[in-house]
């Protein structure tokens, strides 16, 4: 085999290995496309073609990180805010936050995490764990899914943060 083919194949192999390392390091997926939060919530709230309604949303400031938690974990924080008026619930459900199932998520300790427990019309609960950088959706009886927020500001997170700031004033 000529020397130039050996050099070319070595360079090609090194490029492929480097590309694979980058794909696994940055958790790049070629099958997942960005979506938005209302679409994900609509999918989770629809069971067998029937839409479950959100009766109320209980928001607490979380103490623990839920990045790797697939099961709902109740917050130990005593302070909670309950949204039971339809306009506040609707605002939370339709807020257009662009999210992506995958991507590299860093642990950001300087912002609090919020737990939103959505009490559904069929007596189940859907949990959202939010920071400015990620949203974990944990539907009833299923494992959770972690989504990276693609927007500069997570508007649902900012809304929850403003509710707690109003409460403290």
Whole-model pTM?
0.73
CA-based nearest residue to 126, from 26, 36, 45, 43: 45
CA-based nearest residue to 152, from 95, 93, 98, 113: 98
Q: Which is more confidently placed, 84 or 76?
A: 84
Q: Classify strands 145-149 and 113-120 as parallel, antiparallel or unpaired.
A: unpaired
CA distance 47 to 100: 23
Domain spans, the chain:
1-30, 32-168
* pLDDT attached to residue 72: 59
Q: Which is more confidently placed, 3 or 105?
A: 3
Q: Which DSSP state fits 53?
A: P
Task: Choose the weakest-confidence range: 27-31, 55-59, 94-98, 164-168.
Answer: 27-31
**pLDDT of 110 higher than 80:** no
Summarize the confidence of residues 55-73 as an average pLDDT. Answer: 72
* pLDDT attached to residue 13: 95
Cβ(65)–Cβ(107) below 8 Å: yes
pLDDT in tens, 20-54: 998 888 777 666 677 888 888 888 888 888 888 88
* pLDDT attached to residue 15: 96
CA-based nearest residue to 58, from 165, 164, 168: 164
Q: Which is more confidently placed, 151 or 109?
A: 151
pLDDT in tens, 134-148: 888 888 777 788 888
**pLDDT of 63 higher than 70:** no
* pLDDT attached to residue 68: 64
Q: Exposed, middle or buried: residue 152 (CB in 10 Å: 0-12, 13-18, 19+)?
A: exposed
* pLDDT attached to residue 103: 60
- What is the token pair recorded at 43? 């999918």
* pLDDT attached to residue 12: 95
């Amino acid at each position: 085999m000529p020397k130039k083919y050996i050099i070319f194949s070595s360079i090609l192999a090194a490029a492929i290995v480097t590309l694979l390392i980058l794909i696994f390091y940055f958790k790049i997926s070629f099958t997942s496309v960005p979506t938005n939060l209302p679409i994900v919530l609509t999918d989770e709230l629809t069971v067998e073609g029937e839409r479950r309604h959100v009766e109320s949303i209980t928001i607490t400031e979380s103490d623990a990180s839920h990045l790797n938690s697939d099961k709902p974990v109740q917050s130990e924080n005593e302070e909670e805010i309950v949204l039971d008026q339809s306009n506040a619930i609707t605002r939370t459900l339709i807020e257009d936050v662009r999210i992506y199932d995958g991507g590299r998520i860093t642990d950001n300790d300087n912002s609090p995490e919020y737990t939103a427990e959505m009490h559904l019309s069929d007596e189940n609960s859907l949990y959202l764990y939010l920071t400015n950088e990620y949203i974990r959706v944990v539907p009833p009886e299923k494992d959770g899914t972690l989504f990276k927020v693609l927007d500069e500001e997570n508007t649902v997170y900012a809304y929850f943060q403003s509710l707690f700031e109003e409460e403290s004033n």
